[in-house]
Structure 1
C-alpha cells in the first residue's frame, strides 16, 4: 500500500488516528461526478447516468440516452407497412407480441378495418401473455437488484414456460413478428390452447409464493419502501404511464379508459398504489399478473370461432394453396407483397396499454403503401424523464433499486 504524505507527518499512533478522522470528515462533503453506465448491471441496458455526488448523496442526475438508437422511425418511412412489423419486436423486446399488436392496430385504424371476434381474442391472449412475461422478468430483476436472488430463479422458470407457448403459437420464442396489419399469420392450435390452460392453472400459486418471499422480507422492505417516491401530481405532470403511474395512485389504464380489442367485455381490476414508492410499483406489477390470468381465463372460456383476419382482399395475402393453383391468386399475392397496402391519406394515433406503459404510434400517410411519417411514443423514454427530479436526495446505493422499480427497456427508449 502506498504511504501518504499525512502518514509521514504523523509522529505517533494517536496523531495518525486524529489525521484519519479528519480525512474521513473531509470525504463526507466531497463533491464528485460519477458516470454510471452505459455498461453497468444496474442500468439494465445502455443507460448512462451522470451523477453529481456530495459524499454519498446525489445532488444532480442527468440521464444520457441514445446508445441503442437505430433510427426505427426513419426506417419505417422506407418500408411497406407489414415490413416494419419485425422492427416493433425490437422496441420492448421483452413483450414483442404486444408491440406487434399496437403497431398493427394503428395502421388498421388508418385503413378503417376491424378484426373479427376470434382475431381480437387472439390479440388479447398475445397482449396478456406478454404482460405476464414482462412483469415476471421485471419483478425478478428488481428483486435481484436489491439482493433477492431466489426470486429471480422463480420468475425465470415461469417465463420459460411462456416462451415455449409463444413458440407453439408463433414459431418463435423471442422476436415473434406474429401480427400482421389486418390479422395474424396463423390461428391458434389445440396444443397451444391446452398448454396455455395448464400454465394458467399453475401460475397463481407461484405468484403467491413469490410474493411471500418478497413482500414480508424485512431486507426487501427496507430497500424499497419510501424509496423513489413519485407523487400522483408528478406522475401526471411528467406523463408517466403504466404500472409506474398506477403505483403513484393514477387510476388510468387504456384498457378501461379507451377500450380496444373488446377489453370492455372482460372483468378485471386495475391495481392502484398509495405511496408511489418502489415497493408500490412492485405490488402493482404483482397484482397485474393476477389480473392478466383472470382475463386470459375469460377469453379461453368463451373463445369465438370463425376468421382471424379482416375480409378485405386488397390488404391480405391469399391462402398458400390458392397461390399454387390459380394464376389470379398468384398475381394477387405478387401485388400485395411488392406494393404493400393501398392506405388512404390521413393522420392517426393509437395507444395501447403495454407492460411498460402507453405504447403509441402516430402515423402520417400521404396514400400508398409506405408511411410518410411514423412517430413512436415509447413509455420507457417518458418514464425515465423524471429521473433528474427523482434521484437527487437519494444515496448512490439507492439508484439500482429505483431503476429496477421502473422496469424500463432501452431498446424501446432509444428506438
Structure 2
C-alpha cells in the first residue's frame, strides 16, 4: 500500500510505503503488529498494536486460590518462567508472613539465576541471528538445554515449569541436579567467552548495533524502563540490590551498566549479567554445600496451611489429610492485606500488586510485565532508522509475547 505526502507548493510529491511488520512476521511471534510508514527503507512512523494474545490472566487469577496461580505466571515471560514462579511465591509469602529457611533462599537463587542466563542467552543469540550471524546461536542453545535438564530434575518440567511452591520447593534437589549444575558451571563460561569473541569486537555486528534503537536514561525512566534495557541507558537500578529478596543481600555481585542505551549496549549488558549470574550461582551453591545433616534436607518452610504435605503423610496422618483437602479444594482463607512485591526478572522489574479481602482468592491482582512497558517505546526507538534496524531493535529489547497481554 502506498500513500502520498503533501509537500509545500512547487515541491515534488513524495511517495511513501505502508508496511505491516507483523503479526505474521517471524520476528513478531504472530502476536504484535507494527504498521510502518517507510520512505524507501527509512522508517518515518510506526504504530504498534497489541491484543493478539489477550488471555485475561489477572481475572483468571482472581478466581483461583494462591497456589493455583503459579502456572499462570509461567505464561508471562516463558523464557525465564522460574523467576515468575518465585516472584509470585515471594508475594504470597509476604502476605502470609512466611519466613523461609536460608537453604531455600539459596536454592531459589540458583534456579532464578539459571533462568536469567537462559533468558539472556536466547536474547543475545537471536540478536546475533538478526544481524546475520547464526553460529553464536548454536554455541549457546545447547546450554539452554542443559539448564532445562536441571529444571526437569528439580520439578519434572522444562519450559513452563510451575517450579517450587509457596514456602519453598516441592522436593529436595537430587544429586543428579547438583551434578548437572556442576557441569553447567564448568562448561558454560568457556562457551560464553567464545560467544563474546564472535560478537563483541566483530565489525559487522558493531555496525549493525551501535547507534541502533538508542534511548537516553531520562526517556527510559519516563517510559518506566527497568532491567537490562534501563541499565544499558546508564541507570544502575536492580531490584536485587535496591529491594533485596531471597537473601540476595548475602551475595557479592555488580550491576553492569551501559551509556547510550542502543542495541550494542543492551547486548553487552546482558552478556555481563550472565557472568554475574554465574558468580551468584557458584556462591549460592557453595553456601548450599555448607549445610550438613538435617539442615541439608530442608527445602521448604513450616507453613502447613499453604504447603501441601507429603503424600505418604496424607495416607497415614489425619492432620496431613485435613491440610491436603483444604489446600486442594481452595478452602483456606488468606489474610486481609494489600501489597506490591517485585523481583528482578530477566527482562526487568516483574511486580505483583495484590489486594486480599480475606477470602480464599485474591480480590484484585495486577501483574507488572516489563515487556508491555518496553513496547510503548518501540515507535520512538525505530523512528528515523532503517527497516532492518526495526527487527534487531525488537530483539534487543527482548520483547516476549507472553508479557504483552495478561
The TM tier, using the shorter chain, reads over 0.9
Which residue number corresponds to residue 328 of structure 2?
Answer: 337
Worse-superposed segment, 154-163 or 42-51: 42-51
Give the superposition deviation at 1:329.
2.2
Cα deviations by residue, 1:156-213 (Å, 9 ceiling, x for unpaired): 1111111111111111111111122222211111111121012111111111100101
SS at structure 1 position matched to 2:121: helix
SS at structure 1 position matched to 2:178: helix
SS at structure 1 position matched to 2:72: helix
Which residue number corresponds to residue 225 of structure 1?
Answer: 210
Which residue number corresponds to residue 308 of structure 2?
Answer: 317
User: After superposition, where does 1:162-201 map in structure 2 within 5 Å?
Assistant: 162-201=147-186
Q: Residues 106 and 287 of structure 2 are in contact (CA less than 8 Å); yes or no, is this contact kept in structure 1? A: no
When normalised by structure 1's length, the TM-score is: 0.91
SS at structure 2 position matched to 1:414: coil
For these two proteins, the number of residue pairs brought into alignment is 390
Measured in 2, the distance between the counterparts of 1:278 and 1:158 equals 24
Cα deviations by residue, 1:234-278 (Å, 9 ceiling, x for unpaired): 111111111111111011001111111110111111100012110
Which structure 2 segments of 5+ residues have no match? 1-11
Q: Residues 308 and 327 of structure 2 are in contact (CA less than 8 Å); yes or no, is this contact kept in structure 1? A: yes
Aligned equivalent of 2:355, options 346, 361, 364: 364
Which residue number corresponds to residue 412 of structure 1?
Answer: 403
Aligned equivalent of 2:120, options 135, 149, 161: 135
Question: Who wins on radius of gyration, i.e. which is larger?
Answer: 1
Worse-superposed segment, 179-188 or 370-379: 179-188
User: After superposition, where does 1:229-308 map in structure 2 within 5 Å?
Assistant: 229-303=214-288, 304=291, 305-308=296-299
Which structure 1 segments of 5+ residues have no match? 1-25
RMSD over aligned Cα atoms: 1.5
SS at structure 1 position matched to 2:143: helix
When normalised by structure 2's length, the TM-score is: 0.93
Structure 1 position 392 matched with structure 2 position 383: yes
Aligned equivalent of 1:374, options 347, 352, 365: 365
Q: Residues 146 and 180 of structure 2 are in contact (CA less than 8 Å); yes or no, is this contact kept in structure 1? A: no
Worse-superposed segment, 284-293 or 48-57: 48-57
Structure 1 position 35 matched with structure 2 position 20: yes
Q: Residues 232 and 257 of structure 2 are in contact (CA less than 8 Å); yes or no, is this contact kept in structure 1? A: yes
Give the superposition deviation at 1:306.
4.8
Measured in 1, the distance between the counterparts of 2:266 and 2:332 equals 41
Which residue number corresponds to residue 146 of structure 2?
Answer: 161
Measured in 1, the distance between the counterparts of 2:44 and 2:239 equals 36
Q: Residues 232 and 248 of structure 1 are in contact (CA less than 8 Å); yes or no, is this contact kept in structure 2? A: yes
